[in-house]
Amino acid sequence: MNLIISAVTGLIISAVLGYVMVPLLHRLKFGQSIREEGPKWHQKKSGTPTMGGIIFILSTLAATFAITRSFDALLIVGCALLFGLIGFTDDYIKVVKKRNLGLTAKQKFLAQLFIAAAFALLLMYKGLNADVLLPFKNKSVSFGIWYMPFAVFVIVGTVNSVNLTDGLDGLASFITLAVSAFFVIIAKKAGFEGAAVACAALCGGLIGFLIYNVYPAKVFMGDTGSLFLGGFISAFAVRYGFELILIICGGVFVMETLSVIIQVTSFKLTGKRIFKMSPLHHHFEMCGFKETKIVALFTLVTVILCAVAYMGM
């Protein structure tokens, strides 16, 4: 019952906040500038309000702590919130200072590295650093001295993967919604009640946000939202030793990131591009797929991968 209450509360708060905030962001002229490197038809989205991630961040926080004060919920949501603050700073520089690139890559990376390392160290200090579950093997392994760099890699990698995926209306929202719903199921089954409540709250918040974020989007989540989402699902995975499970259920995030790595590497080594454009969702766009079909396809793939991950547990 707590999970249903959490999800419904998150949904209602998010929907109401969106109704208030979207017009407010318009009045404040917090519009997104579209980079010229992307598909040309995305230029029509220029001026759409950004920083909308605040909507589901606030709803997730409110819905979670209205029901639970568990240490695990605080850990996961707290880690996500810190990453969201990095994104908020980046968005603020873009929309207020009118610097389209926001924070420098070095600044963002160092801030992400610090938060990820602090989170991993806190888990180790509290004795909460779980062994890593091996999918389909029904056993876990300890990473020993490699736990710290592995955990940091998973967190920072996931945060940036979600950020890369946030390139189409509703894409990152739908995919993270599917992953979060999967986390609700496995957290409940494993008895992680506080974490399950937090994940349910995020699900509700994302559903409410999607009212305004589906094509054609009335608001973008911005780095504020995408970094929060990446921080949330990676913190959950690292807390319980589900890092490899995250790679499976979050396979679309992995593919988006790999497409960028492959594209850049190929161009530097051979001068040729493997994809028409990266990340991967832009390649599908350049191949003639409609934005809504790409979002539906990637979401369906994520649901299937979540089912595979569940069998692997």
Q: And the tokens for 183? A: 């986390």
pLDDT in tens, 256-304: 999 999 999 998 989 889 999 989 999 999 999 999 999 999 999 999 9
Per-residue pLDDT band for 182 (boundaries 50, 70, 90) equals: very high
- Mean local confidence (pLDDT), 248-258: 97
The percentage of residues in the chain with a pLDDT greater than 70, rounded to a whole number, is 93
- Mean local confidence (pLDDT), 1-5: 93
* Matching residue, tokens 């599917």: 178
pLDDT of residue 283: 92
pLDDT of residue 103: 84
Distance CA 242, CA 183 (A): 10
pLDDT over threshold 70, residue 35: no
Q: Which amino acid is at 273?
A: R
pLDDT of residue 94: 82
193 burial class (0-12, 13-18, 19+ CB within 10 angstroms)?
Answer: middle
- Mean local confidence (pLDDT), 66-88: 96
- Mean local confidence (pLDDT), 4-13: 97
Q: Report helix angle 2-27 to 53-65, nearest 10.
A: 150
pLDDT over threshold 80, residue 31: no
pLDDT over threshold 60, residue 36: no
pLDDT in tens, 107-135: 999 999 999 999 999 999 999 888 999 99
What dihedral do alpha carbons 72, 73, 79, 82 form, nearest 10°?
A: -150
Nearest CA among 235, 188, 182, 205 for reference residue 56:
205
> Pick the residue with more confidence: 251 or 104?
251
Q: What is the model's pTM?
A: 0.95
What dihedral do alpha carbons 30, 113, 186, 209 form, nearest 10°?
A: 0
The distance from CA 154 to its chain's CA centroid, rounded to whole angstroms, is 13
pLDDT over threshold 70, residue 88: yes
pLDDT over threshold 80, residue 101: no
Per-residue pLDDT band for 48 (boundaries 50, 70, 90) equals: confident
pLDDT in tens, 123-180: 999 998 889 999 999 899 999 889 999 999 999 999 999 999 998 999 999 999 999 9
Per-residue pLDDT band for 98 (boundaries 50, 70, 90) equals: low
| Residues in CB range of 46: below 8 A, 6 or more apart | 31, 32, 33, 34
* Matching residue, tokens 């801030």: 111
pLDDT over threshold 80, residue 96: no
Instruction: State the number of CA atoms in the 13 A half-sphere of 309 facing the CB.
Output: 26
pLDDT of residue 10: 97
